[in-house]
Amino acid sequence: MAQMTMIQAITDALRVELKNDENVLVYGEDVGQNGGVFRATEGLQKEFGEDRVFDTPLAESGIAGISIGLATQGFRPVPEIQFFGFVYEAMDAINGQMARLRYRSGNTQTAPITIRSPFGGGVHTPELHADSLEGLIAQQPGMKVVIPSGPYDAKGLLIQSIRDNDPVVFLEHMKLYRSFREEVPEEDYTLELGKANVVREGNDVTLITYGAMVHSSLKAAEELEKDGIDAEVIDLRTVMPVDFDTIIKSVEKTNRVVMVQEAQRQAGIASYVVSNVQERAILHLEAPILTVAAPDTVYAFTQAEEVWLPNYNDIIEKVNKVINF
Amino acid sequence: MKRTLENIEEQFETFQILNEEGKIVNEDAMPDLSDEELKEIMYRMVYTRILDQRSIALNRQGRLGFYAPTAGQEASQLGTQFALEKEDFILPGYRDVPQLIWHGLPLYQAFLFSRGHYHGNQMPEGVNALSPQIIIGAQYTQAAGVALGMKKRGKKSVAITYTGDGGTSQGDFYEGINFAGAYQAPAIFVVQNNRFAISVPVEKQTAADTLAQKAVAAGIDGIQVDGMDVLAVYAATKDARERAVNGEGPTLIETLTYRYGPHTMAGDDPTRYRTEEMDNEWEKKDPIVRFRKFLEEKGLWSEEEENEVIEKAKEEIKAAIKKTDEQPKQKVTDLIGNMYEELPAHLQEQMEEYKAKESK
């Protein structure tokens, strides 16, 4: 076992799959020679050659579009969108095209494509780099959306995403890239998509979250423990599909829920999760489900981002409300 | 040969072999086609014209769904397809159903596509194609990907894709030709310039004199062809294919053509944006009329033969539409079942719900 950062775990996952399957191709802007702007593909071109790890012209729709074409030739593309804020350029190629290929072709053609992309706030990026846009993809039938919360999950989920025969958007929170290390097995292993992970067990309230907010939620849980509140924290890992079985099991135990996401509140993952929880478990609820989310604005410029981003104090405040309801 | 920024007008002069009178005007460029092949091209053009007429009639009777008429574009559509090999991969636009049919898609499946049934998009084994694209230009980037994949596989084949004059205004058009150029991928990008993007004339799409010259910026070869001259279209495509499989990169082919009918059968009225004079002028250039003259001159075609093709087409279309009618209707549970390889839990629940609804 090695101690790895999330970015190292991602590189390792790519290396494992490039080795395992000769159909895997890794490409994008600055991905080849330069090893990616975050070094996620560091050394891979050297190791696997330019035929399999390569730079593309600077055009997101083209990157996503060629992936569909490559898939028709039996490849398993792993393209990178350099920052997920650039995904608007590729929305037709993703939601309009690759998501629909299986259905459109009556199950005769598939798009086993994994689009990797950094996103997330707190690292002082310019505009359209940090926005949480997972909801745009999660709203599209045919797509899966995976968001790891740390190195171990990132490797297992990325390998599984690449092996999945449906298109996956794999979102990597930039703040998690190098913020901590974790034990990561050197061999290959997978974590099932569509399965949540109970990262902290508790009896009084369920915090449902994903991505960087898993850590804010864990920190909130630690603080709450001092006040005698025992919070359970569920890391969704996959925001489409969502593992409602794990959620409902927890809700039946705690009877109280706070949903936590970094994204702005409007029409996103939280709304989807909350509507399902009330539909499936309303008789188990002792209080309304509250949501911690960013305000309904575009992502804040750097100077306002610390206030804009939800933090553990926001979570504690909402938990106290549902506990004292 | 790569085009340059100099003397654009000369470089992109319209390539023609057969003029409107059915006379060869460019003997040197005459492709090497046997009498049988020449007759086969005529057979396919006549057949496709009948298919278009019958499809329009079936649409009016409510027996077909979405349909984009093809009459006038036979030389552009079939001349390009005739230059392909079975292993070549077609990425069509929604008007390009004839190319799929001649590449091997059974007629009844083409009708199912029109009706919005997914079976119409299930390419039979060995038919290398995607189903017709609805979004203008999206197929251009995908074609670059297919071609890049072929290159990586070491295949001696090409990806060919189609759009119209309007499609050249899309970002995906530029991204597609640029990617293919950057990777020297074996792709052929066909622009069927039928003068109108629904109602907007090509003069309002671009200030460029030709659409073919857009190849210059991408650093790829480009050619403007008389799209009513099936021999010129065939020769240009054959040449593009040869260069592509020899590793010489992609080609942009602009065919000058015209659709006689409306944009689609969903209420478009061409008299709102085209004059009768213009229609008449283009009908004089008709691809079938001039090719018929050419073949008759060579003693390869007769009225009798043509009537046989027409009768055969009508019979086969009748049989195909009957088979189309016999197919079970598409169900919501088919949709649900084809979203993912394995149904996620939320769709399993919805599958049960709709199975119950459909069994009522």
pLDDT digits (tens, 9 = 90+) for A171-230: 999 999 999 999 999 999 999 999 999 999 999 999 999 999 999 999 999 999 999 999
Per-residue tokens: A108: 């005769």
A23 touches chain B (CB under 8 A): no
Beta-sheet pairing, A2-4 with A24-28: unpaired
Report the residue from A69, A92, A164 with minimal CB separation from B146. Answer: A69
CB contact under 8 A, B144 and A194: no
A313 touches chain B (CB under 8 A): no
Name the residue among B189, B230, B185 with its Cα closest to residue B211.
B189
Q: What b/e sequence results for A233-244 when a residue is b if at least 16 CB atoms lie within 10 Å of its CB, and e otherwise?
A: bbbbbbbbbbbb
Which residue numbers in chain B have pLDDT < 70?
1
A97 touches chain B (CB under 8 A): yes
CB contact under 8 A, B142 and A68: yes
User: How far away is chain A from the Cα of B332, in angstroms, using its nearest Cα?
Assistant: 12
* Residue range A45-64: mean pLDDT, rounded: 98
| Catalytic annotation, residues of B | 259, 263, 273
**Confidence (pLDDT) at A301:** 83
Residue A45 gets the label, from left (phi > 0), alpha (psi -120 to 50) or beta, of alpha
**Confidence (pLDDT) at A77:** 98
Which of chain B's residues have a Cβ under 8 Å away from the Cβ of A241? Answer: 344-347
Whether the pTM exceeds 0.95: the reply is yes
Mean pLDDT, chain A, as a whole number?
97
User: How far away is chain B from the Cα of A26, in angstroms, using its nearest Cα?
Assistant: 13
Which of chain B's residues have a Cβ under 8 Å away from the Cβ of A196? Answer: none
CB contact under 8 A, B140 and A241: no
Q: Are B222 and B159 in contact (CB under 8 A)?
A: no
Environment class of residue A85 by beta-carbon count within 10 Å: exposed (0-12), middle (13-18) or buried (19+)?
A: buried
**Confidence (pLDDT) at A303:** 87
At A5-36, the pLDDT tens digits run 999 999 999 999 999 999 999 999 999 999 99
Q: Which residue of A has its CA nearest to B87?
A: A73
ipTM, two decimals, is 0.96
CB contact under 8 A, B175 and A105: no
**Confidence (pLDDT) at A19:** 98
Rg (CA), chain B: 21
CB contact under 8 A, A106 and B159: no
* Residue range A274-299: mean pLDDT, rounded: 97
Identify the DSSP state of B24.
B
Q: How far apart are alpha carbons A74 and A62 in whole angstroms?
A: 19
Q: How crowded is residue B205: how many other Cβ atoms within 10 Å of its Cβ?
A: 18
At A134-157, the pLDDT tens digits run 999 999 999 999 999 999 999 999
**Distance between first and last Cα of chain B:** 64
How many alpha carbons lie under 13 Å from residue B301 in its C-beta half-sphere?
Answer: 23
**E strand intervals along chain B:** 89-91, 159-164, 187-193, 196-197, 200-201, 221-226, 251-256
Name the residue among B106, B108, B109, B76 with its Cα closest to residue B93.
B76
Question: Looking at the predicted structure, is the pLDDT value of residue A169 above 80?
Answer: yes
**Confidence (pLDDT) at B1:** 64
User: How far away is chain A from the Cα of B167, in angstroms, using its nearest Cα?
Assistant: 15
